[in-house]
Each structure stands twice: as structure tokens, then as C-alpha cells.
């Protein structure tokens, strides 16, 4: 394992996110199915680990949860082929792509960049580093999320439109992937708002779980 991979939160230099990668999720937001992956970036300043609370960014009244399988890059590369993509994976993590949905919708309507709606502080809660041995097939993992113990998202990574090797290959045609970079691979249907005081619990099958509170500040 490349040195420092377990500390990807501290050493990683980018978080690359994939939007609309589960067909039912695309439909629930009224979006067309993409012909190629929708790619955006979250800054590393958005990382939080368990024990820290998720906070509403300024001007947001509609903060959505999105549970995702995160892929941690273990070997750098550009123009990576699909067939060698799996060799570039150093490990995995559980992640939440917290989204200020109202800010995002408003910016999209005005043809403006919606970066702040996805990149605010605390918008990327992550769990512990998961070694690759624990997830031999990233397309065969259950992914679920509860808010205050009520199930909201309950999907499976076999339903990804663009699979992990394709995503790694596609992204790396545009942006070099470095050791410690994180790729968030999309979220299944069931995204919805949280309010201050809520507790989000989520997991990957029985491999990993994590819990975050939404701050009442």
C-alpha cells in the first residue's frame, strides 16, 4: 500500500465526484440519463471525519444527503485504460456528498457554476480507509443510508450506470489521478433533505458504517 493512503483525508489533493450515476437517482431529480459521466470537484477543505458535525452553508435551506462509495487512488496515472484501472485503486471509503440543493438549483437555472453548493466546509463526510481486500468487487456492494433510523437510500453498486473501471479511465483522460485522490462514484435514489439535529447513519453492506450529526448551529 502506498505510504499515507490511510491518511488520504490529510494528504489527498482532490476529490472527484460523479453525478447522476444511478438511473433511478437521475430520474428522481428530473434529469436525463447522461451519455458520459457528469464530473465535478469538491475541495479537500470539505472533508470531515466522524465526531465532527455537518453544517448548513450560508443561504441554504435545503441540505441533501447522498451516500456514495468512495474509491481512493493508490497508484498515480493519466490516460488509464479500463483494463488496468483496478490496479490504480488503493482502497475504498464510505462517503456522503452533502449538497445544498437549493443553491445548486438556483445556480443551474442561471447558467452559473454550482461549485459552492457541493464544496462548502463539511460537505464531504468520510469514514475510515477500507483496504481493497475488504471489497473484492466494487460493483457488488450494498449502499444504504438512514436519517434518525428511518431508511432513506437503499441501493446497490451493480446499478451504477458507469462502472468504477470506466470512471477511473474516463476521469484520467482529462485529469491525472494522484495517490490519495478520492473518487465519489455517485448515489442511488432516495436523496432528500436533513434538518438540524438529525443523525445520518450509512453503510456499505456490512463492511463499513458511519454516523454523522447535522449541526444545530
Partner 1 sequence: MASRIVNFVKEGRKIIGVAMNYRDLAKATGASIPKKPLVFLKATSAYIEEGTPIQTPPECKELFQEVELGVIIGKTGSKIPKASVMDYIGGYTLALDMTAMDFLREARQTGGSWELYKGFDTACPVGKFIPKAKIPDPHNVGLWSKVNGELKQNGNSKDLIFDVPTIISHVSNYMTVEEGDLILTGSPAGICQVNPGDKITCGFSDIAEMTFHVADK
- Site for partner 1, rule CB under 8 A: 13-14, 16, 19, 38-41, 43-46, 57-58, 78, 108-109, 111-116, 119-121, 173-178
**Least distance (Å) between residue 119 CB and partner 1:** 6
Q: How far is the CB of 158 from partner 1 (least distance, A)?
A: 25
98 to 74, 88, 129: CA distances (angstroms): 25, 26, 19
How far is CA 62 from each of CA 65, 168, 181, 198, rounded to the nearest angstrom? 10, 31, 28, 13
User: Which CB atom, from 119 or from 188, has the smaller least distance to partner 1?
Assistant: 119
- To the nearest whole angstrom, how small is the minimum distance from the Cβ of residue 148 to partner 1? 27
What is the spatial distance between Cα 51 and Cα 25, in angstroms, rounded to a whole number?
29
Nearer to partner 1, 24 or 121 (CB): 121
Question: Which of 4/113 has CB closer to partner 1?
Answer: 113
Least gap, CB of 53 to partner 1 (angstroms):
15
Comparison of 142 and 178: residue with beta carbon closer to partner 1: 178
The grid coordinates of residue 214 equal 447535522
* Length of the chain in terms of residues written: 217
Question: Which residues are CB-contacts of 5 (< 8 A; sequence separation ≥ 6)?
Answer: 72, 74, 90, 91, 129, 179, 180
Amino acid at each position: 500500500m502506498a505510504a499515507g493512503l490511510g491518511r488520504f483525508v490529510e494528504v489527498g489533493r482532490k476529490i472527484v465526484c460523479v453525478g447522476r450515476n444511478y438511473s433511478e437517482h437521475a430520474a428522481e431529480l428530473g434529469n436525463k440519463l447522461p451519455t458520459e459521466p457528469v464530473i465535478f470537484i469538491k475541495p479537500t477543505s470539505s472533508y470531515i471525519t466522524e465526531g465532527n458535525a455537518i453544517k448548513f452553508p450560508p443561504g441554504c435551506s435545503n441540505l441533501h444527503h447522498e451516500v456514495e462509495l468512495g474509491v481512493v487512488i493508490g497508484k498515480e496515472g493519466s490516460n488509464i485504460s479500463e483494463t488496468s484501472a483496478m490496479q490504480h485503486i488503493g482502497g475504498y471509503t464510505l462517503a456522503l456528498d452533502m449538497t445544498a440543493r437549493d443553491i445548486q438549483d438556483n445556480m443551474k437555472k442561471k447558467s452559473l457554476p454550482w461549485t459552492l453548493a457541493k464544496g462548502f466546509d463539511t460537505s464531504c463526510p468520510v469514514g475510515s480507509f477500507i483496504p481493497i481486500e475488504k471489497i473484492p468487487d466494487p460493483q457488488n456492494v450494498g449502499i444504504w443510508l438512514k436519517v434518525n433510523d428511518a431508511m432513506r437510500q437503499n441501493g446497490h453498486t451493480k446499478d451504477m450506470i458507469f462502472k468504477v473501471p470506466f470512471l477511473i479511465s474516463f476521469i484520467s483522460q482529462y485529469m491525472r489521478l494522484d495517490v490519495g485522490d478520492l473518487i465519489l462514484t455517485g448515489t442511488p435514489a432516495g436523496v432528500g433533505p436533513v434538518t438540524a439535529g438529525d443523525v445520518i447513519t450509512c453503510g456499505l453492506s456490512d463492511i463499513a458504517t458511519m454516523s454523522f450529526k447535522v449541526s444545530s448551529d
